[in-house]
Amino acid sequence: MNDERTKKRGEMLTRRRQVARLYLSRVNETDIAAKLKVSQPTVSRDIKWLMQEWRKDAIADIAEARGRELAELDEMEHDAALQFVTTKSPQWFTARLDCKKRRAKMLNLDVPPTARQIEIDVRTLTDEQLDRIAAGEDPLAVLAGTGNKRTSETGETATPGPATGKPAGEVAVPAMDAGTPLDSGQSTG
């Protein structure tokens, strides 16, 4: 039983690699399905899974770059502080101050709390939520399940409430992992 499951998972991952290669070559879903001898809905699910994985990879890359940049700033600030203590030269004070300004900007520390951007783990958002935010809707309203303005039956405009009762930026959504349900990949037609 376990061997069969492992075999199916391997076949699914192989198919998803093929789907990715064809999709990135601008082959449409119907043609991909015909070429791989699977149903179009299977290809559609594979593409949806691939997009989620690619999105996770992009977020990880950004987080890694941010972490590396912050580490470099820490090192530069440390060096500038040592040079200032040793030389008392204003250029090292200015260099240290510049490092602090850059760090504050990267971490969004200079923005007043009322205007501060919220951090949302986009991996937890549905495609619909991402589309709505990309279209310009207020992210808090999207997380709360409302639009920018929603009018009640009485004609009053509802104010979006908190999404989950958690602090801003924390979203209670199940984590996605590579262990998605197995898809047999068999053609239905």
Q: How far apart are CA 27 and CA 35, in angstroms?
A: 10
Query: Within this chain, do residues 65 and 156 fall inside the same structural domain, yes or no?
Result: no
Q: Which residue has the higher pLDDT, 128 or 44?
A: 44
How confident is residue 123, by pLDDT bands cut at 50, 70 and 90? Answer: confident
Residues 29 and 73 placed together within one structural domain of the fold: yes
Structure tokens at 115: 């205007």
Q: Are residues 50 and 142 in the same domain?
A: no
pLDDT of residue 86: 92
pLDDT of residue 172: 36
Residues 45 and 122 in one domain: no
In a domain, 182, yes or no: no
Same structural domain, 144 and 103: no
Confidence tier at 137 by pLDDT (50, 70, 90): confident
Poorest-pLDDT segment among 74-83, 84-93, 154-163: 154-163
Complete DSSP assignment for 28-60: -HHHHHHHHTS-HHHHHHHHHHHHHHHHHHHHH
More confident residue, 3 or 122: 3
Q: Which residues constitute the domain of residue 37?
A: 2-117
The structural domain count of the chain equals 2
Tokens of 176: 């996605």
pLDDT tens profile 138-159: 777 888 875 444 333 444 433 3
Q: Is residue 7 one of the residues assigned to a domain?
A: yes
- List phi, psi (to 5°) of 104: -60, -40
Amino acid at 5: R
On the question of pLDDT at 164 being above 80, the answer is no
Check whether residue 101 and residue 146 sit in a common domain.
no
**Least confident residue range of 8-12, 110-114, 138-142, 180-184:** 180-184
State the Cα torsion 105-108-111-117 to the nearest 10°.
140
Residue-level pLDDT at 83: 94
Domain boundary among 92, 117, 142: 117
Residue 186, domain member (yes or no): no
Same domain, 18 and 103: yes
- CA gap 5, 3 in Å, rounded: 5
Last residue of a domain, one of 70, 90, 117: 117
